[in-house]
Amino acid sequence: MRKLTFLLLLGTATPALAQADGQAAVQQLAVAAADQTERPAMEGEIVVTAQRRAERLQDVPVSVTAVTAEALEARGINNLAQLSQAAPSLQVSGENNFTIRGVGTLAFQQTLESSVAIAQDEVNLVSSILGGAVGTFYDVAQVEVLSGPQGLLFGKNASAGLLNIVTRRPVLGETSGELQLEGVYRPSTPTNGLGVVGQGTINLPVSANSALRINATYSSQDPVVKFIGTGGGDFGLTQFGVRAKYLVEFTDALSLYVIGDYNEEKGIATYFDRPYLRLPPAARALPFLNAVGIVPSERNLFIGGNGQFFRNVKRGGVQAKLSYELPSGIEISNIFAWKAAERQQNFDTDYTEALGVDINQSDTKYSQFTNELRVALPAENRFTGQVGLFFYSADTSSVGGLAGANYGPAVRPGFPFCVGATSIGTNPGQCRRSNAFFIGNDFDFDLDSKSYAAFGQFTYEVVDGLKLIAGGRVTHDRLKIDLAQNQMFYFVTLGVPLTASAETSNTNFSYRLGAQYNFTPDIMAYGTFGRGYKGPGFSQNVPRVGVSPIVEPETNDNIELGLKSTLMDRKITLNIAAFRSKFKNLQVSSFSPELGSSIIQNAASSKSQGIEFSVNARPVEGLTFNVAATILDSKFQDFPGAECYIGQPTPSCLVPTGRQFNAGGLVTPATSKFVATAQAQYEWTVNGSLSAFVEGNILHRSSQWFTINQAPGTRLGAFQTLGASFGVKSDDGWRMSLFCRNCTDKFVPSFLGIDNGEANQGRLGTGFLTNFNSVVQVGVNFGFEF
């Protein structure tokens, strides 16, 4: 029935790139494209920067889903975690783990980088702690989801894809501003949760040739999950940020663009508020949960705990771009950027009133410096392209660990436990040492990363309409880590005490070759082959002395064929791309029989193949239909070290020492075979200055597994969610709308996973995470421009 409903809607709406009529949000990009592309962008067309210059989407030989500011507003997309509502090839799971075309990061440590890169205003936000700096979207012109390897032009570690955020630039000679307020209500949550988002922007001319643009945002969201324990903390999510942008055009050829930003994020909502889904009858947590009325289930939205819950993140930075255009049309630019972040967090791992593992704490600091020098040839020449040099330097330091009493008393002074003991002696009945906790581990590391690269990509129009594409990037990575683990004493130590230092380096050549042919100015076909690259890293947990923490690089060989067309006097755009990606040496967490432990290593390969298509239609004035879909087959080709779940019937998991199996042939986590989105919007005039609009959207996603080993309870079935909005707007600059998101209240967890505490006891338990779109939201939005 759900599939039938979706297909009926599909029959009344044609696919999309999430594009509203007018394109006000990308007007500045369109102006730039008019000077650089063979056919200038017209009103209603999408302009992207997928090749580091403003071009019509229909001219770019890359699979791109571009979500404009109007589309973000219409669908209520406020951050990157919600972007999958409009981009079918993108999946967001858990704590902002991004997957494109079925492949993302399969090992989660601060000593490794993501396979899906994030860039904002041409600066790569390399660390996951910094990538969250995007926070709540504000003053965003456009977000582009680029599928396939993109590291050639965008800097560092984009082997699976890239999320490219473009914010609005200051406007010269204009005093203007915007205020937007949103309030939401989530009636199906235990707290009847509320949320508010406020954003403001002001654009001020400083001189005849310069302007300043200042943004501010504030968001406060009640949690979806209710806490009923005796511990304490911040269980909601509060974000605020400011950004200042200054643009000065010294001459028609020379300009300087400076951006400074700062933001904070507080609260554990959607990150650490993980309810129990299923627990076995013998689970140690179960009696404590039952005592406070918590029953594990598919819609259990309660957690307990006697520990502290907090997550505090501070981020900021400054960047500057100096550009000069020679009389020949060649542009020389240099982008300098410094970004930094700091995060403190803790949560009660067992989520009960018992003294289980009540400390899971870390304090992480990160800073990066990047500089990129680029030389771009004029886009209108038969031979065009760009070359550049890139430098990246970063320092990551982190200290933390987990600890607890393992469901026993807090103080155990007697031999042999000796936790909190005062009697230290040598006899067997005395405590020869006093442990800090009964069970636990700790870590402390400093990671220094440097990357040097030279890159170039060129296009040559051999004959009218036929262009050949060739590009390459030489990258040299150098990393060094100083690591100490388990320097405190525990009766049960989760790991081994050691100190270690390690260095690694690697030089890689990644490339892109292809061709595109314009049958007409509005119909273009392309084919490309390229290699993506993700640099080396380290495992921050070493199972024993003498084991190297080095994790080698991973690569992606990608082939893509595409067709982009604009039909019926530009009333319809139809784009389709077919692809195949083969990943080698995937950086994953896998079990090593020799070491008897799970470690981060290069233990897997995978293949991802499928079709992406999108259509945008404007059959009559005021009416738009949009649909986009991805058909995907993404599986491990070989994964001999995948860890078994408790009770897994695979033969290698049943032997006494068996904890591993080969996951080759299994689907990659967070991968759906079919994903589609659709949106319809109609706008009409009420009177001379007042207009109204109505909008509806739907997301359908087929079933997916969240774990590599496909443990029971970690599969999310097929689902679809509906959204709708209705509003009015005036030529005077104000607008108001009523909306609902996930209107039918289809409960959709953002992650399903195995409970580590039960797994350590030889039992299988599961839990889940939610986000704010996991439940129905109804609200009102008000905006005013001046």
Q: How far apart are CA 608 and CA 620, in angstroms?
A: 38
pLDDT mean across residues, the chain: 88
Q: Decide if 103 is inside a domain.
A: no
pLDDT tens-place string over residues 396-416? 999 999 999 998 888 888 888
Q: Decide if 23 is inside a domain.
A: no
Q: Decide if 536 is inside a domain.
A: yes
**pLDDT surpasses 90 at 513:** yes
pLDDT tens-place string over residues 153-203? 887 878 889 989 999 999 999 999 999 999 999 999 999 999 999 999 999
So what's the pLDDT on residue 44? 57
So what's the pLDDT on residue 595? 52
**pLDDT surpasses 90 at 343:** yes
Contact 699, 10 (CB under 8 A): no
For residue 376, the domain's CATH number is: 2.40.170.20
In order of 147, 175, 321, 402, the CA distances from 122 in angstroms are: 17, 26, 9, 38
Q: Decide if 5 is inside a domain.
A: no
Q: Decide if 55 is inside a domain.
A: no
So what's the pLDDT on residue 35? 39
Picking from 534, 556, 540, 396, the residue whose alpha carbon sits closest to that of residue 477 is 534
**pLDDT surpasses 50 at 10:** no
**pLDDT surpasses 70 at 92:** yes
So what's the pLDDT on residue 175? 97
Q: For 424-500, where are the alpha helices, taking DSSP H only? A: none
**pLDDT surpasses 60 at 355:** yes
pTM: 0.90
**pLDDT surpasses 80 at 25:** no
DSSP string, 266-330: E--TTTT---EEE--TT-TTHHHHHHTT----TT--EE--SSEEEEEEEEEEEEEEEEEE-TTS-
Q: Which two tokens stand for residue 279?
A: 């627990």
DSSP string, 6-39: HHHHHHHS---S---TT-GGGHHHHHHHHHHSSS
So what's the pLDDT on residue 633? 97
Amino acid identity of 316?
G
pLDDT tens-place string over residues 78-89? 778 788 888 899
Q: Decide if 77 is inside a domain.
A: no
**Domain containing residue 555:** 170-785
Contact 33, 42 (CB under 8 A): no
**pLDDT surpasses 80 at 45:** no
Q: Label residue 135 by pLDDT band (50, 70, 90).
A: low
Higher pLDDT, 251 or 70: 251
Contact 249, 217 (CB under 8 A): no
Residue whose tokens read 């004035």: 621
So what's the pLDDT on residue 596? 56
**pLDDT surpasses 50 at 29:** no
Q: How far apart are CA 524 and CA 503, in angstroms?
A: 47
Q: Decide if 138 is inside a domain.
A: no
Tell me if the bond preceding 149 is cis, omega within 30° of 0: no
DSSP code at position 435: B
**pLDDT surpasses 60 at 17:** no
pLDDT tens-place string over residues 650-700? 999 988 777 889 999 999 999 999 999 999 999 999 988 899 999 999 999
Q: For 423-545, where are the alpha helices, taking DSSP H only? A: none
Picking from 75, 79, 182, 199, the residue whose alpha carbon sits closest to that of residue 785 is 199
Q: Decide if 76 is inside a domain.
A: no
Please give the average per-residue pLDDT across 566-574, as a whole number: 90
DSSP string, 763-777: ---EEEE--GGGS-E
Contact 729, 693 (CB under 8 A): yes
Contact 758, 764 (CB under 8 A): yes
User: In the beta sheet, which residues pair with residue 537?
Assistant: 551
**pLDDT surpasses 50 at 540:** yes
pLDDT tens-place string over residues 528-537? 999 999 999 9
Q: How far apart are CA 586 and CA 572, in angstroms?
A: 40
**pLDDT surpasses 50 at 23:** no
Considering Cα of 312, then 125, then 139, then 727, what sign does the dihedral take? negative
pLDDT tens-place string over residues 431-464? 888 899 999 999 999 999 999 999 999 999 999 9
pLDDT tens-place string over residues 47-89? 888 888 888 888 999 998 888 888 888 787 877 878 888 889 9
**pLDDT surpasses 70 at 34:** no
Please give the average per-residue pLDDT across 484-494, as a whole number: 92
Residue 422 burial class via C-beta count within 10 angstroms: exposed 0-12, middle 13-18, buried 19 and up: exposed
- Structural domains in the chain (count): 1
So what's the pLDDT on residue 401? 93
So what's the pLDDT on residue 431? 85
So what's the pLDDT on residue 24? 40
**pLDDT surpasses 50 at 22:** no
So what's the pLDDT on residue 753? 92
So what's the pLDDT on residue 132? 57
So what's the pLDDT on residue 37? 38
Amino acid identity of 85?
Q
Q: In this structure, how many other beta carbons lie within 10 angstroms of the beta carbon of residue 701?
A: 22
Residues with Cβ < 8 Å from 205, sequence gap 6 or more? 172, 173, 174, 175, 211
So what's the pLDDT on residue 453? 96
pLDDT tens-place string over residues 677-690? 999 999 999 988 89
